[in-house]
């Protein structure tokens, strides 16, 4: 099952495979529960969640970022991943046999921040 915000990218990704597609935004609790419900309806269980949603915040120093921009990034990158994981765990606990796997994918910039990204940008930073 593929889920994503942009229909064109979902279609492109699943063009050569048979997938159940779900266009949605993961940071809404009803949407993340709908992912699990759709998978349960189609296959009767949830064995794997691969969390790959994420966006970059504005290219600015932390003191230049608005609270609204911050909240939007946190909602997708953190809350969305947590809600999807919670829905998957509920399904995995209820199925027989119990269990499954959750993979949370992160960007390389979590380990090696890009220039001009958080937390601090200074003129002397290479």
CATH classification of 2-106, choosing from 3.40.50.720, 3.30.365.10, 3.40.605.10, 1.10.760.10? 3.40.50.720
CA pair distance 85, 26, nearest whole angstrom: 10
Judge whether residue 90 has pLDDT over 90.
yes
91-119 pLDDT, tens digit per residue, is 999 999 999 999 888 776 666 666 655 55
The pTM assigned to this predicted structure is 0.72
What is the pLDDT at residue 114? 62
- Answer yes or no: is pLDDT of 20 > 70: no
What pLDDT score does 51 carry?
83
Sketch the domain layout of the chain as residue ranges: 2-106
- From CA 49, how far away is CA 104, in angstroms rounded? 8
Q: Kindly give, in sequence order, each residue whose CB lies less than 8 Å from that of residue 99, ignoring residues fewer than 6 positions away.
A: 47, 92
Region 16-39 average pLDDT: 69
Per-residue model confidence as pLDDT tens digits over 40-77: 888 899 998 888 777 778 888 888 889 999 898 888 88
**Could you write out the DSSP letters of every residue in 46-111?**
--EEEE-------SS-GGG--HHHHHHHHIIIIIIHHHHHHHHHHHHHHSSS---EEEE---GGGT
What was the pLDDT predicted at 118? 53
* pLDDT average, residue stretch 71-86: 86
């Amino acid at each position: 099952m593929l889920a994503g915000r942009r229909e064109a990218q979902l279609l492109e990704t699943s063009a050569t495979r048979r997938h159940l597609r779900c266009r949605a935004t993961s940071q809404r609790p009803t949407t993340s529960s709908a992912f699990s419900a759709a998978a349960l309806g189609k296959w009767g269980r949830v064995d794997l969640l691969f969390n790959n949603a994420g966006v970059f915040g504005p290219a600015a120093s932390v003191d230049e970022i608005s609270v609204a921009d911050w909240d939007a990034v946190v909602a997708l990158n953190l809350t969305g991943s947590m809600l999807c994981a919670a829905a998957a765990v509920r399904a995995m606990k209820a199925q027989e046999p119990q269990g499954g796997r959750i993979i949370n994918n992160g960007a390389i910039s979590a380990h090696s921040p890009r220039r001009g990204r958080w937390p601090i940008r200074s003129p002397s930073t290479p």
